Every structure is written in structure tokens, then in C-alpha cells.
């Protein structure tokens, strides 16, 4: 069995236009640990990802000066050093991708990592954010069950507090921001099951909160314990499509459907299991706070509450 998905191709506004984003599946984890503690775990997860995707799918990496360089043997060593062995030791980052740009389609395979430790001189809170993306064709060719097994394998390596997998607009380095905003807005309104791949915004500020329900929703501590643990999840998710898989370290994987669902509101209503999990997670949902929010903060708050709205 396979599933049809909307084809999404976004291009930059400049001249000449270049591909900036495409449809795919994102697997994203948030880790409330010191970068020094989590970087090696993320590097191990990267090796699993690298083995699971077609050979050579990661061919380029982002350099410190903003350039994109070939990911040969030397490039892999530089990427490893940028991620886990910077001389300062208080931060690490990595951007590994399929394509450096150009052509007709933006990269489908992307690995991104950002981490900070508490001893940094900039006052940043310690956190780690790590994501893995896949073109939609990978999901269709390998099947949802195989993808879920791989997601679980990667998650086992990571001491996450929250994570998810979702059909998404994927883009290296959030380059989708250079396309026409109204195109992205229209897609997100039509498809509430569509995520916007972005490693930069939420990592430093999410803390131990959640970003709402997704096809695969990973809950770790203390987030899992706050709404009442796995028993509370069982009580609010008595749907045949839903499965709960306990993980070691008092964590759980919640699967809301057999396949990731963009949820095309032109043809169907939001499935009840998404709304039920959203209601349970509402007190722990990330929201920007303050009396005078910036327009993008207000819009983001509304989008994160999309499964709670009528």
C-alpha cells in the first residue's frame, strides 16, 4: 500500500529563482541537555540515518562562512568537528544536505543540528535541536511501517523531551523564508497536518513544552509525566488508528495513524485523535508570551493551536 501526497515545490523570489523547499517528511527532536552531553548521541543517530538513506544522499555540508562544500572524507571530518569538537566546546552545529542548490528540486535529505551548553558566554540556555528529513518518495517507496521503525531507531539514541515526525515543507537552513510568504500560508491553512521544517526558531525557547500532536509524537520526561503519563494517553486516545509504544527511559511513541496525513481540509475534517491529543497537551503547548507580541509570534501561536480550534 502507498499513499498519495501533494507535490510541493517552492522557489525563491530573487532572480534567477532557485528551488528553496519541497514536500517530504521531517523527524525533529528537542533535547533539554547540555550540548556536550547530547552531541555524541546525535552523531550516532546521524550514522543510523546515513545507513538508512540511499548512498551518497548527503553530498554537501554548510561551512562556517556560509558556503556549501562537498561532503567528501575531509568534509565528514570537518562536519564532525563542527558538531562535537569545536575548540570553544560550548556549542555545535551541522548542516548536511543532498544538494547545494540549483537544479529543479530542493534537497530532500537534510540533517541539521544545533546545540549550546550552559557555559557559553552569550547567556543562551542549554539545549539541543536535531532534525532528519526525507523526500516524500522515500516514505512511499519504503512504506510507513519501515519509516516508523527507522524513526524509533533514531529516537532511541536521543535523550529527547519532545519529538515528532510529520509530512512537511522541508528546506535546508529554513531557505523557505526566501519564497513568497502567501504561498506557504495557503499551504499551512489548507493542510493542518503539514509541518514547516525549521530547526532554528523553537530549539532555544521550547524548554520542556510541546509543539502539538503529529503523526508520530515522541514524549519524554518531564513532558510525558505532566499530563498524567501513558495511562492518561490511553484514556484520551481510544481510537483504532492510535498506538502507544513505551520506550526505555520512561518515554513513549504515540502513532496517530498508519501514514502521515497532511489532512486536506478541502476533502476531510481533522481526525478526532489529533484533537484529543491536542486537548491533553494544551496546558504544555508552547506559546509565545507577553502583552505585545510581534505579528509572527501571534501567527505562530495560532498555528500551534490549530488542532484546538473549531
> Cβ distance 117 to 36 under 8 Å?
yes
Q: How far is CA 87 from CA 64, 77, 81, 92, 128, in A?
A: 14, 14, 9, 10, 18
> 182 or 278, which is more confident?
278
Helix (H) or strand (E) holding 134: strand 127-135
Q: CA-to-CA distance for 72 and 246, rounded, in angstroms?
A: 39
Q: CA-to-CA distance for 147 and 225, rounded, in angstroms?
A: 27
85-121 per-position pLDDT tens digit? 776 778 889 999 987 765 667 789 999 999 988 888 7
288-306 per-position pLDDT tens digit? 998 889 888 999 999 999 9
- Please state, as a whole number, how many other Cβ atoms lie within 10 Å of the Cβ of residue 273: 21
Q: CA-to-CA distance for 198 and 112, rounded, in angstroms?
A: 10
> 81 or 201, which is more confident?
81
Q: CA-to-CA distance for 225 and 179, rounded, in angstroms?
A: 40
Give the global pTM.
Answer: 0.94
Phi-psi bin for 300: left (phi > 0), alpha (psi -120 to 50), beta? alpha
Task: Name the DSSP letter for residue 59.
Answer: -
Domain map (residue ranges) of the chain = 9-304
Helix (H) or strand (E) holding 61: strand 60-62
- Rounded to the nearest 5 degrees, what angle is found at the Cα of 209, between the Cα atoms of 211 and 194? 5
Amino acid at each position: 500500500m502507498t499513499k498519495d501526497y501533494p507535490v510541493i515545490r517552492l522557489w525563491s523570489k530573487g532572480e534567477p529563482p532557485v528551488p528553496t523547499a519541497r514536500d517530504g517528511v521531517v523527524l525533529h527532536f528537542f533535547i533539554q541537555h547540555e550540548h556536550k552531553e547530547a552531541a555524541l548521541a546525535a552523531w550516532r543517530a546521524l550514522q543510523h540515518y546515513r545507513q538508512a538513506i540511499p548512498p551518497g544522499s548527503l553530498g554537501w555540508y554548510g561551512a562556517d562562512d556560509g558556503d556549501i562544500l562537498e561532503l567528501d572524507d575531509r568534509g565528514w571530518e570537518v562536519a564532525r568537528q563542527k558538531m562535537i569538537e569545536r575548540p570553544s566546546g560550548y556549542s555545535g552545529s551541522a548542516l548536511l544536505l543532498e544538494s547545494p542548490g540549483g537544479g529543479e528540486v530542493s534537497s530532500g535529505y537534510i540533517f541539521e543540528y544545533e546545540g549550546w551548553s550552559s557555559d557559553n558566554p552569550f547567556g543562551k540556555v542549554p539545549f539541543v535541536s536535531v532534525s532528519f528529513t526525507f523526500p516524500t518518495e522515500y516514505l512511499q517507496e519504503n512504506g510507513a511501517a519501515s519509516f516508523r521503525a527507522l524513526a524509533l531507531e533514531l529516537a532511541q539514541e536521543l535523550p529527547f523531551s519532545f519529538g515528532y515526525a510529520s509530512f512537511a515543507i522541508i528546506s535546508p537552513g529554513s531557505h523557505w523564508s526566501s519564497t513568497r510568504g502567501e504561498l506557504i500560508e495557503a499551504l499551512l491553512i489548507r493542510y493542518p497536518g503539514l509541518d514547516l521544517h525549521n530547526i532554528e526558531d523553537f530549539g532555544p525557547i521550547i524548554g520542556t513544552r510541546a509543539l502539538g500532536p503529529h503523526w508520530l509524537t515522541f514524549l519524554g520526561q518531564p513532558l510525558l509525566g505532566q499530563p498524567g503519563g501513558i495511562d492518561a494517553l490511553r484514556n484520551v486516545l481510544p481510537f483504532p488508528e492510535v498506538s502507544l509504544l513505551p520506550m526505555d527511559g520512561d518515554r513513549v511513541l504515540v502513532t496517530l495513524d498508519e501514514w502521515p496525513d497532511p489532512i486536506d481540509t478541502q476533502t476531510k475534517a481533522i481526525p478526532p485523535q489529533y484533537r484529543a491529543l491536542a486537548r491533553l497537551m494544551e496546558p504544555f503547548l508552547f506559546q509565545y508570551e507577553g502583552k505585545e507580541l510581534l505579528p509572527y509570534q501571534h501567527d505562530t501561536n495560532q498555528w500551534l493551536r490549530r488542532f484546538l480550534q473549531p
